[in-house]
Structure 1
Amino acid sequence: MAQLQTRHRKEQRDLQSRITQKKKQANKKTRKGVNDECDRLEAELKERQQSEVAALTGEAVGDDVPSNELLDLSIEADAEPPRTNGTAHDDAGKNEPGEHPDTASSLGSQAKKPNRQKARLARRAAEQEELLRQAAEEAKSLPDLKEQERTRMLDAMKERGMQEKEIRADGHCLYSAVADQLHQLDIPLAATINETAAYQSVRAVAAEYIEKHREDFEPFLEEPFPEYVGKIRNTGEWGGQLELMALAKSYATDIYVLQDFGRVEKIESGGSASEKTMWLAYYKHGFGLGEHYNSLRKAP
C-alpha cells in the first residue's frame, strides 16, 4: 500500500505539471479544447488510481471519492498498531460473522471521515450565491445609464427638430448611417450597388482615402497600417473618429455628430462651405455591442 500511495502521488504531481504546461501554451482558440483534455486526463487518472486502491484493499470505491482522499483513508487504515493475538481475538468477536477485521476497520474509517471536497464545493457555491445576491442589490441602486442617455438624446433631437432612423447594430453602423445620409442628400455612392450593401461602398471609400493619405492617419494607429486599412475594407470592424474624417473629406461634406447631453461634434470636410451636411447620433451606452451610430433626419 505504501508503494502504491507513493506512485499515486508522483503520478498526480506529474499530471499537474503537464496540465499547467498545456494551459500556459493555450490561446483563445485552443483554450476550451485544452481544458476539456485536462479534465479528461484528471478523470482517467482518478478512476485508475481508485481501481488500483480497490483491487489492493478488496473494497468497492465510490466514484465521488477523489483519489487523494482514498490515499488518506488507506493511510489511516494501515496506520493502526499491530494487535497481539489476544487483542485480535477480542476485536474479531465484535465483527459481523464472516467479516474480516481489517475490512471492517477500513470501512469504519471511511464512514466517519467527511468528504472534504464536497464540503469545499458547497462552501464555494454558497459564497458565489451570496456575491451574486449582493451584486444584484447594488445594481438596483445604480442609475440606468442606457435609459438616461436615451432620454437626453431624444430631448436634444427634439430641440433641433430632428428624428432618428435606427441603424442595425452589427459593426457597420457608422458606414450604414453615412450611407443613409448620402441617400437623403442625393449624394451618389462611389459604386452602384444595392441598398443592403451600401455600407460596403462607404467602407471602400474610407479605406481608399486613408490609404492615399497614409501620413495623416498612421501616427494615430496602434496596429500596422495595412492591417488597419484591411479591417476597414473587408471586416465588420467598428468605425470612429478617423473614419469620419476620411468620409467627410471624401464626400466634401461636413459631418455633425450629436452626442449625450446635447453636445455636437463637427468633422469638417476642409473644403468650401456647403449647404449639405450629414447628421449622426452617437450612443455610448444605448446598444448591446457598445458604441453605436444612428442616422438623423429632419422631423416632419
Structure 2
Amino acid sequence: MEEEAAGTPEEQLTRQHRKEKKDLQAKIQSMKNAIPKNDKKRRKQMTEEIAKLEADLSQKHEEEIKQLKPTVETKVDGLSNGVEDLKIEAEEKQEVTQPRVTKAQKRRDKKAAQEKERESRIAEAEVQNLQGVRHQEGLVLAQKLAQQQLQIKEISSDGHCMYRAIEDQLTQRSQPGLVMSVKELRSRTAEHMRNHADDFLPFLTNPNTGDMYTTDEFEKYCSEVEHTAAWGGQLELRALTQVLQLPIEVIQANSSNIKIGEEFSSDPITLVYMHHAYGLGEHYNSVERLKDPANTEDS
C-alpha cells in the first residue's frame, strides 16, 4: 500500500519538479520584493539572475527525466524541450484509457507548449549572450593583466565594489597607516569632496534640468557617498587619490587604462573596471599577483 501511495517513479519525479518550481517562484518573488522598483540597475541584474535560475532548473529537470525515462525525449523533442511538456507527454501515456482530447484542445495545448518553449529559448539566449560577452571581456582582461604578472581578484557586487577593491589593494600593501575599511574610505572621500567642492561641483549636474548641482544637492550627493551603497566613479577615485596620496590605475578590456593622480610617484593602486561582469554595465575588481603565470618556463 505504501508503494501505491508513493506512486510510480515518473509520478514521484513530477511531484518533485512541481515542488522545485514552486520553491523557485517563491524565491523569485522574494528577490523582486527586496529591490526597489526605481533601482533600474539592480532590477536589470535581478532579471538576468532570474532567467539564469529558471534556465538552470529547466535543464536540471530535463536531465532527470532523460535519466528516468530515456524514451520520453524522442517523443517530445519535436514539440518542446521544456519540462512542462515532458510532464504532459508522461501523463498522456499513463492516461491512454481516458477519452481522447479534442483536436481543438490539442491545437491549444500545442500552441501553449510552443509559446513556453519560445520564451524559454529567449531567456536562455539572453543568459548565454551575457555569459559570452563576459567571457570575452574576461579573456581580454586576463591577457592584459598577465603582461604585468597580475590576475583578477573577485570583489562582491553590492554597490561598494570600488571601495572594497581599494580596501583590498591597501591590505595587500600592508603599509602602516594606509589600511582603511570601506566605511572609512567612503567617509574620507565624502569629507574631501565637501572640503573641495569647487573641484567636483562643475562635474555634477541635475539629470532633469541639466543645471549644476545646488549646494543642497551637492551635500545630498556627498551624504550618499558616505552613508549608502552608492556606486563610485571617477569623481570618487579622484578624491581618493588625494586622500591616500597615491595614484590609481584602472584597467579596462577594450579601452586604454585610466590613470588618476599621476602627480604622486608611488606605485599605483590597480583596479579592474568591467562592463559586463554582472550584466550591470559597471563593476570594479581588485588584482593580485599571478599565481600561475603563463610562459614562465622555456618551451
TM-score in terms of structure 2 length: 0.50
1:129 deviation in Å?
A: 4.0
Q: 1:132 aligns with which of 119, 136, 150?
A: 119
**Distance in 2 separating the partners of 1:141 and 1:235:** 32
Conserved? CA contact 1:256–1:265, under 8 Å:
yes
Aligned residues: 176
Alignment check: 8 A CA contact 1:189 1:201 kept: no
Match of 1:162 among 142, 146, 150: 150
Q: Find the residue that maps to 2:137 and give its secondary structure.
A: helix
Quote the residue 2:190 is aligned against.
Answer: 207
The 3 A distance-change label for structure 1 pair 137 and 255 is closer
- Distance change >3 Å, CA 275–CA 146, structure 1 → 2: same
Task: Flag the 1:259–1:140 CA change in 2: closer, same or farther, 3 A.
Answer: closer
Q: What is aligned with 2:286?
A: 295
Gaps of 5+ in 2: 1-35, 39-107, 207-216, 292-299
Q: Write the mapping of 1:80-95 to structure 2, written as runs, cut at 5 A.
A: none
**Quick check: 2:170–2:179 contact (8 Å CA) kept in 1?**
no
Q: Do the aligned partners of 1:256 and 1:266 also contact (CA within 8 Å) in 2?
A: yes
Aligned-pair CA distance for 1:225: 0.6
Find the aligned partners of 2:236 and 2:163 in 1 and give their Cα distance.
9
CA 170–139 in structure 1, closer or farther in 2 if over 3 Å, else same: closer
The one of 252, 265, 278 equivalent to 1:259 is: 252
Distance, in Å, in 2 between the alignment partners of 1:162 and 1:231 is 33
Using the alignment, how far apart are the partners of 1:166 and 1:227 within structure 2? 30
Preserved contact between residue 178 and residue 244 of structure 2 (Cα < 8 Å)? no
- Equivalent in 207, 227, 240 of residue 247 of structure 1: 240
Quote the offset at 1:141 in angstroms.
8.8
Q: State the shift of 1:277 in Å.
A: 1.2
**Post-superposition CA distance 1:122-151 (Å, at most 9, x none):** 9x9689647626735865995711111111
- Structure number with greater CO (CA < 8 Å, separation at least 6) is 2
Q: Using the alignment, how far apart are the partners of 1:140 and 1:184 within structure 2?
A: 34
Q: Is the 2:238–2:260 contact (alpha carbons within 8 Å) kept by the matching residues of 1?
A: yes
1:298 Cα deviation from its structure 2 partner: 3.1
Distance 1:157 1:251 in 2: 24
Shift of 1:262: 6.5
3-state SS of paired residue (2:245): coil
CA distance in 2 between counterparts of 1:156 and 1:187 reads 30
Give 1:1-300 correspondences, 5 Å limit. Answer: 129=116, 132=119, 135=122, 139=126, 142=129, 144-185=132-173, 186=175, 188-189=177-178, 198-223=181-206, 224-261=217-254, 263-269=256-262, 271=263, 273-287=264-278, 289-299=280-290
Q: Would the alpha carbon gap of residues 235 and 136 (structure 1) be closer, same or farther in structure 2, given more than 3 Å must change?
A: closer
CA distance in 1, matches of 2:129, 2:220: 40
**Paired residue secondary structure (1:279):** strand
The one-letter code matched in structure 2 to 1:188 is G
1:72-97 Cα shifts (integer Å, max 9, x gaps): xxxxxxxxxxxxxxxxxxxxxxxxxx
Q: CA deviation at 1:159?
A: 1.5
Instruction: Please tell me the residue identity of whatever aligns with 2:119.
Output: L
For the pair shown, which has the larger CA radius of gyration, 1 or 2? 1
**Secondary structure of 1:280's partner?**
strand
Please state how far the C-alpha of 1:260 moved relative to its aligned partner.
0.9
Partner deviation per Cα, 1:235-265 (whole Å, 9 max, x = no partner): 0111111111110122111111110137311
1:260-290 CA-to-partner distances (Å, cap 9, x unmatched) read 1373111125x4x423211111111012554
Taking the aligned partners of 2:128 and 2:159, their CA distance within structure 1 comes to 32
Report sequence identity in percent.
35
Distance in 1 (CA, whole Å) between partners of 2:235 and 2:224 is: 13
**CA deviation after TM superposition for structure 1 residue 293, in Å:** 1.0
Structure 1 residues 181, 284: closer, same or farther in 2, change over 3 A?
Answer: same
- Contact 1:283–1:291, Cα closer than 8 Å, also in 2: yes
Compared with structure 1, are the counterparts of its residues 162 and 138 closer, same or farther at alpha carbon in structure 2 (3 Å cutoff)? closer
RMSD: 3.4
Mapped partners of 1:251, 1:187: distance in 2: 12
Quick check: 1:181–1:278 contact (8 Å CA) kept in 2? yes
